[in-house]
Structure 1
């Protein structure tokens, strides 16, 4: 409408402002490192241009670092991309990898989330069998091809008891998979005659536990997105800074014994 009031769109932050906001709001780690090899999580903020991924992975491969997961995605700033890299290394190797990544021209910053309080998520898509762990189409065909006896006991409709039992078992498997998936706050997103696909978004350790529990059903396919992390907020209360300022400006305590009587 021509008289409709239009509000201006919020200002878009620049790449430098977005990187500074992420680095400043990242909580500091405890610094309690160990000398043995462990898992490290790095967030690499890079320029959104062709060839950056090859340069980053090329440095990691040339130094022999074992990359567990690598997730690359765009950010709210069109010219900025975010890489989340999980590597297995010792503290010395991790420090060297961080310095070498920071030396690259398209890299704005490298943030280490290994010792920080973070929110970690990973997505899983898994296709499970509902006909048993053997999952062979020949087994179903042989069950449905069992000849009917037709002895007048009600089984003369062309469906063998073996196929009926198979149908009931498949529905029992669907019910069990759905209940187990709901316990992990997941969903069943597709159902077919022989398989179901479940969707789960959780921490990596929780996804590992879920895969172990559904292993007996028969896993046909499994795809994991990789780890995505974000630092928790450093300031938990909007009154935190105000309280700290009041404590600082209160001044030294007065010794009552030095005051005059009365």
Structure 2
């Protein structure tokens, strides 16, 4: 079992001693200052429908969890209705003393402005979320799939599953490498992610009689007496 600890030296040493006191534990090895091989495996399910469809699905899931009453209350608190705006304007104009014809004209103008804003918002929403034809949707999914596969190849990963809406990518490497891949595919929409955690093994030392000075470790270089070195 590999356990990764980040903290002060005293805290790490205390945890090591507590692990040694456990009955099932045979030995505890500290690889803090040791050259090790670090690996982690990650499985990521990425959507190929596009980021806009992923965001709409997230918003729909959040909206379904909230009640209809809370949604109407939030809408009424966030922005007043056009009828309330017209009533406030008419009350203010009545307090200042305008004619009834002027009050009616201001209420009508505010109602026209509210209807114009509502129609413009509806038109922009419809134009932004125009439905795609089956051929266009197939092309979008194919382009997104090719982009995700290209990213996986750059990280020496592989696609282990393909469906009509998502792909599953397997990536093996250092923790920083897995984090970088996850950041790159996050705009496409990460549906699920499973990580094994960090696994390490110490590197095996290489013993050779032809080892040069540049290939020595820091401990071996510290043991060399500088007075024995040639001048210059």
Q: Shorter-chain TM-score: what band?
A: 0.5 to 0.7
1:116 aligns with 2:34: yes
TM-score, with length taken from structure 1: 0.49
Distance in structure 2 (CA, Å) of the matches to 1:114 and 1:213: 30
The equivalent position to 2:18 in structure 1, one of 97, 100, 122, is 100
Distance in 2, matches of 1:178 and 1:87, equals 34
- Contact 1:120–1:228 (8 Å) recurs in 2: yes
In structure 2, do the counterparts of structure 1 residues 102 and 240 end up closer, same or farther at CA, with 3 Å as the change threshold? farther
- Mapped partners of 1:202, 1:211: distance in 2: 12
Contact 1:129 1:135 in 2 (8 A): no
What CA distance in whole angstroms lies between the structure 2 residues aligned with 1:194 and 1:135? 11
Task: Name the residue aligned to 1:87.
Answer: 5
Residue deviations 1:138-186, cap 9 Å, x none? Answer: 98xxxxxxxxxxxxxxxxxxxx962211110100001100111000000
1:177 is aligned to 2:148: yes
Cα distance in 1, alignment partners of residues 53 and 197 from structure 2: 28
Superposition deviation, residue 205 in structure 1: 0.6
| Unaligned segments of structure 2, at least 5 residues | 58-130, 212-232
Alignment of 1:208-247 (within 5 A): 208-234=179-205, 236-239=206-209
2:167 to 196, 201, 216: 196
Q: Which has the higher strand share?
A: 1
Does residue 139 of structure 2 align to residue 168 of structure 1? yes
CA RMSD of aligned residues (A): 2.3
Bigger Rg, which one: 2
Q: Which residue of 2 aligns with 1:187?
A: 158
- The alpha carbon displacement at 1:89 in A equals 2.0
TM-score by length of 2: 0.55
Give me the whole-angstrom Cα distance separating, in 2, the residues matched to 1:102 and 1:131. 51
Q: Is the 8 A contact 1:127 1:197 kept in 2?
A: yes
* Aligned equivalent of 2:76: none
Deviates more, 1:121-130 or 1:110-119: 110-119
Deviation, 1:239, is 4.4
Pick from 185, 201, 205: which aligns with 2:176? 205
**Bigger helix fraction:** 2
C-alpha separation between the residues in 1 aligned to 2:144 and 2:52? 14
Structure 2 CA distance for partners of 1:85 and 1:161, relative to 1, 3 Å: closer
**Larger RCO: Structure 1 or Structure 2 (Cα < 8 Å, ≥ 6 residues apart)?**
2
The answer (yes or no) to whether the contact 1:127–1:195 under 8 Å persists in 2 is yes
